Amino acid sequence: MKRLISTLLCAALIIAASGCSQDISVNASTTTTAASTTTTAAKTEGTTAANESTTAAAETSTEAVAESSESKLLVAYFTPSENSEADAISPASQTVYDGETIGSAAAIARMIAKRTGADMFSIQTVKDYPVVYDDLADFALDEQNRGELPELATHTDISVYDTIFVVYPVWWYTMPQAIYSFFDEYDFVGKNIIPVTTHAGSRLADSLARIGELEPDATITSSFTISAMNAETGESEVTSWLAEIGY
């Protein structure tokens, strides 16, 4: 199975390398203060298993126009290591940030929150995801094929936020099903959505198209993607991108 993922991800990598980037225009960005977090404590943390080979650096697709200093920001993120069995070592959680080993998506989310002062929210599911990489791969593919929207265990009030960064790993060339659940649960009408992915070659995958379909009355004002392998050392790329879009 892992060989299959490797093959598929290599294909993704080749596509990514051939310039399949997705550009979007940015029409708004804002700054905020507030630094409190609503993040639910991680169920697990840990290390293990490497991801498949990956290229590269962060991709940004932004032009910024700062509009307001009143906007309230949220960073909502999903990472498997906060959705696995208690005390398990997650295969995907290999990023050390602030001395803690956490998921790559969680690390990028923390970097965004640190820079912008956004509130943080960990999207967690009622069910646990497998810890072993191959099992997780099979589990996630099956969930995707069935179009399951996993029940979420954590909830927040997004009505108070104008701009929501949504951070997640690419799974099987798209967003984890938990992210589909997240978009299903909340009303994003009039919100600015900023998708951020960690990946092993697929970059943003189909994120922009899918979110555009799911939330037609929201605006995707920017996006960012970074290889999971570069997440640990990626804070300067993250902060440069945030500066570009006005944060």
Ligand X SMILES: Cc1cc2nc3c(=O)[nH]c(=O)nc-3n(C[C@H](O)[C@H](O)[C@H](O)COP(=O)(O)O)c2cc1C
Q: Which of 37, 173, 235, 239 binds ligand X (CB under 6 A)?
A: 173
- Which residues are bridge partners to 196 per DSSP? 167, 224
Q: Does 202 bind ligand X (CB under 6 A)?
A: yes
Residues 86-105: x/- map of binding to ligand X (CB under 6 A)? ------xx---------xxx
Opening angle at CA 97, ends 227 and 53, nearest 5 = 25
CA proximity to 31, closest of 80, 79, 64, 76: 64
Q: Which of 172, 180, 182, 186 binds ligand X (CB under 6 A)?
A: 172
The HSE-up count of residue 247 (CA atoms within 13 Å, CB side) is 29
Helix (H) or strand (E) holding 12: helix 2-17
Residues 62-81: x/- map of binding to ligand X (CB under 6 A)? -----------------xx-
Q: Does 134 bind ligand X (CB under 6 A)?
A: no
Q: Which of 74, 111, 112, 137 binds ligand X (CB under 6 A)?
A: 137
Q: Among residues 9 and 42, whose Cβ is nearest to ligand X? A: 9
Q: Which of 46, 201, 234, 246 binds ligand X (CB under 6 A)?
A: 201
Q: At what angle do helices 133-145 and 2-17 cross, to 10 degrees?
A: 70
Q: Does 200 bind ligand X (CB under 6 A)?
A: yes
Residues 13-42: x/- map of binding to ligand X (CB under 6 A)? ------------------------------
Distance CA(102)–CA(118), nearest Å, equals 19
DSSP helix, strand, coil percent of the chain (3-state; round to 5): 30, 20, 50
Listed ranges 29-37, 146-154, 164-172, 236-244: which one lies at the site for ligand X (CB under 6 A): 164-172
Q: Does 228 bind ligand X (CB under 6 A)?
A: yes
CA proximity to 108, closest of 29, 180, 181, 165: 165
Distance CA(27)–CA(29), nearest Å, equals 7
Residue ranges that bind ligand X, judged by CB under 6 A: 9, 12, 51, 79-80, 92-93, 103-105, 136-137, 140, 169-173, 198-202, 228
